[in-house]
Chains A and B, each alone.
Chain A
């Protein structure tokens, strides 16, 4: 059953990604000012959406773990943090590649770029804590608190283009409150890409949760085996 869900999610992700590529490269028109390189936007923004969604899940699952103490919430939080980090890295890398031909530089300490980099560092810290800390409740609680604090940066990133002077474009809602994408075909391509990336995220989250469930099962089996060995040694004496 679990394998079937995984295969179905993988197939849906691949098909939706093919559809997104078709929309981006065939259906959507080329932007007049930036030319072909503007098409990076159709995958850059969905990466940001998935990263924010991941960190939202990290915070909500972390809060539920602190409240209820069930391991499933901690596992969900950990899995989402890993994916958030992956997609946040992709946002920074694709943004940098897009910036070079348009701004003439790979990186600038612009408000949106800087706040996104801070988010990346916060969740990098979260993952380091999980990787080097022991697999116990104390580390899980610290990580949950860090995950909740980290997500506070997400609304700052979103409104940063309105709060500070920035060269980063405000695409979905411009500073004048207008719509950033003029052509409806561009909007359609963006929506299909957002859907495809959301599906990929669900698939990867499912995969990662499966490995965390297996890790928990191994922990349980090892404990059971150790108890039996102790009981066996006691009986022999």
Chain B
């Protein structure tokens, strides 16, 4: 390997590893955001189900 190949390898590894980390964190964030939305929806449905019907009608 000539010196240019070593230089290219070093810089490539830096960008590839940082890029992979960004992808890994972003995917995890998307998954967690979806989970938060799901849980908030479930919580809202549960609270509505717990509210007595007369309160629903009167808008309390």
Q: Which residues of A contact B (CB under 8 A)?
A: 35-37, 39-40, 43-44, 47, 86, 89-90, 93-94, 97-98, 100-101, 200, 204, 207-208, 210-211, 214-215, 217-218, 221-222, 224-225, 228-229, 231-232, 235
A214 touches B32 (CB 8 A): yes
* Chain A proximity of B52: nearest CB distance (Å): 11
B46 touches A36 (CB 8 A): no
B39 touches A218 (CB 8 A): yes
* Chain A proximity of B49: nearest CB distance (Å): 8
Q: How big is chain B's contact interface, by range?
A: 20 to 34
Write out, one digit per residue, whether chain B residues 2-24 have a CB within 8 A of any chain A CB (1) or not (0).
01101101110110011001100
A207 touches B29 (CB 8 A): yes
Query: Which residues of B in the span 17-60 have a Cβ within 8 Å of any Cβ on A?
Result: 17-18, 21-22, 25-26, 28-29, 32-33, 35-36, 39-40, 42-43, 46-47, 49-50
CA distance A161 to B33 in the complex (A): 47
* Chain B proximity of A111: nearest CB distance (Å): 22
Supposing A86-B17, A207-B26, A210-B29 touch, asked if A98 and B10 sit within 8 A by C-beta, the answer is yes
Instruction: Please report whether the interface of chain B is mostly helix, strand, loop or mixed according to DSSP.
Output: helix
CA distance A200 to B46 in the complex (A): 42
CA distance A222 to B26 in the complex (A): 22
B46 partner residues in chain A, CB cutoff 8 A: 225, 228-229, 232
* Chain B proximity of A235: nearest CB distance (Å): 8
* Chain A proximity of B42: nearest CB distance (Å): 6
A39 partner residues in chain B, CB cutoff 8 A: 7
Q: Which residues of B contact A (CB under 8 A)?
A: 1, 3-4, 6-7, 9-11, 13-14, 17-18, 21-22, 25-26, 28-29, 32-33, 35-36, 39-40, 42-43, 46-47, 49-50
Supposing A37-B3, A39-B7, A215-B32 touch, asked if A90 and B43 sit within 8 A by C-beta, the answer is no
A208 partner residues in chain B, CB cutoff 8 A: 25
A-B contact pairs, 13 of them (CB 8 A): A36-B3, A37-B7, A47-B14, A90-B14, A93-B13, A94-B13, A97-B10, A98-B10, A100-B6, A214-B36, A217-B36, A218-B32, A221-B36
CA distance A204 to B35 in the complex (A): 22
A221 touches B22 (CB 8 A): no
Q: Known pairs A100-B1, A232-B46. 20 more at Cβ < 8 A?
A: A37-B6, A37-B7, A40-B6, A40-B11, A43-B10, A43-B11, A47-B14, A89-B17, A90-B14, A94-B14, A97-B13, A210-B29, A211-B29, A218-B35, A218-B39, A221-B40, A221-B43, A225-B43, A225-B46, A228-B50
